[in-house]
Amino acid sequence: MLYDAFRPLLFSLDPEQAHHAGTGALNAALAAAPARALARAVYDVRHPALATEAFGIRFPNPVGLAAGFDKSGASFNALGALGFGSVEIGTVTALGQPGNPAPRLFRLPPDGALLNRMGFNNPGAEAVAARLRRTRIEPVLGINLGKSKATPLEEAAGDYLRSLELLEAFAAYLVVNVSSPNTPGLRQLQDAAPLRALLHALRARGAELAAARGGLPRPILLKIAPDLTDAQVEEAVGIAREEGMAGIIATNTTVSRDGLRTPAAEVERMGMGGISGAPVRRRALEVVARIRRTTGGALPIIGVGGIFSADDAWRMVRAGASLVQVWTGFIYQGPSIARDINRGLLARLRAEGAAHLSDVVGMDVR
C-alpha cells in the first residue's frame, strides 16, 4: 500500500508534528467537494448488510473514527471522505485550552500503541460552534464533550451544559467523556453520585433545547474507561440506562502498563498518560461483552480499543458492539483502514451466511 511507503517518514517525525503534517495534507487534498467525492468513490464501502441503525441514526457503515483525531472540528469532512461511517470530533470543552505541555504524544510500535496526555487541547465550544455554523456537515457527526481543566470538579455539570448548549444543534449524537486520564480528577465523575447528577442535567437540558426547536433530542452517549472494575462498569451502565442515555462507548484509553513489549524504562521516560491501541483490545472486548450481558442488548454499544483489522472489528461486534471506532489503528494502518475493515466484515458475513451485521451483534454472549 502507498501508506506503507510513507509511514516510515511520518514515524520519523515527532508524533504530534506528524499528526499536524498529515491532517494538513489531508485538508489541502480534500478541501474541494469534487476531491472528497473522488475520495469517497475510492474508500466508501456501501452495502445494505453494513448499514446500521443505532439510537435513531442511520450509519452508512459501522466503522467510525473516534474522538481525539479531530479535536477542533477542522477536518471532519475530509476524514469522512475516507470511508468512515461516522466521525466524532473533540473532545471539546466549554473553555478553550492549550492542553498539557509537549511532548505529550508518543508511539509504542512494538505494542501497536500510542501514549497520550494531550489534556483536551481545543479552541473551546464557542469557537467550534462558529466553525460548524459556517460548514456544510457531510458525515454522521458525533461531538465528544469534556470538562474544562480550569473548571472545579464541583462545577463540572455547568461546564458540560455550556458545551451542550453551544454544540448540540450541529451533532448527530453527543458523547459525555468522563473517562480520560489526562484531566485531573475527571474520572471521579464516573462515581455513582456525580455521574447520575451530570447525566440527568445533560439529558434534561437536551430535551429542553429540542422542544424549543420543535425536534427530537440529540442522542447522548456515555464513554467509560477500561480501568473500571466489572462492578463499576455495571454500575455506570445502570445509571446511564436510568438517566436515559442512548448508548455507551467502551472504552477510552488505559493507565495500565501491564504486558507492554516496549521496554519499561522507555515507557517510564514517556511519563503519564493513557495508552490506546492493541494493549486495550482485550479489556475493551471484555467490557463490551459485560455491557451486552448486563443490558441484554437494550443499550447500543460503540466498541473502541485496538481495532486494526476486520478480524478485530468482527470480534468486537460479536462481543456486543453495534458500531466500532478506530483511532490508533488509523495511525498505524493508514487512510484505507475503514474500507479494509468494511470489506472484511462483508466477507465474514458471507462466510457466516448472515444477511446483516446486526445478525451477529452479541453472538458470543447470547
Q: What does the radius of gyration of the chain's CA atoms come to, in whole angstroms?
A: 19
Pairing state between β 113-116 and 105-108: antiparallel
Q: Is the CB of residue 50 less than 8 Å from the CB of residue 345?
A: yes
Residues 75, 86, 148, 180: which is the catalytic one? 180
Residue 158's CB is within 10 A of a number of other CB atoms, namely 11
Whole-angstrom distance, CA of residue 85 vs CA of residue 324: 10
Q: What is the pLDDT of residue 5?
A: 84
Is 122 annotated as belonging to a binding site? no
Assess if CATH 3.20.20.70 describes domain 2-365. yes
Is 77 labeled as ligand-binding? no
Distance CA(119)–CA(325), nearest Å, equals 21
**What is the C-alpha separation between 340 and 345, in angstroms, rounded?**
9
- For position 50, what pLDDT does the model report? 98
Q: How many whole angstroms from its chain centre is CA 160?
A: 18
State the pLDDT at residue 359.
98
- Do the annotations mark residue 147 as ligand-binding? no
Is residue 151 a known part of a binding site? no
Q: What is the model's pLDDT at position 1? A: 63
Residue ranges per domain, the chain? 2-365
Nearest alpha-carbon partner for 86 in 53, 63, 109: 63
pLDDT tens, the chain, 366 aa long:
678 888 999 999 999 999 999 999 999 999 999 999 999 999 999 999 999 999 999 999 999 999 999 999 999 999 999 999 999 999 999 999 999 999 999 999 999 999 999 999 999 999 999 999 999 999 999 999 999 999 999 999 999 999 999 999 999 999 999 999 999 999 999 999 999 999 999 999 999 999 999 999 999 999 999 999 999 999 999 999 999 999 999 999 999 999 999 999 999 999 999 999 999 999 999 999 999 999 999 999 999 999 999 999 999 999 999 999 999 999 999 999 999 999 999 999 999 999 999 999 999 998
Structure confidence at residue 366 (pLDDT): 81
Is position 180 annotated as part of the catalytic site? yes
> Is residue 69 annotated as involved in ligand binding?
yes
DSSP 109: G
Is the Cα torsion angle 129, 130, 136, 138 positive or negative in sign? Answer: negative
Q: Give the number of other Cβ atoms within 10 Å of residue 269's Cβ.
A: 9
pLDDT for the residue numbered 101:
97
Confirm whether residue 253 is marked as ligand binding.
yes
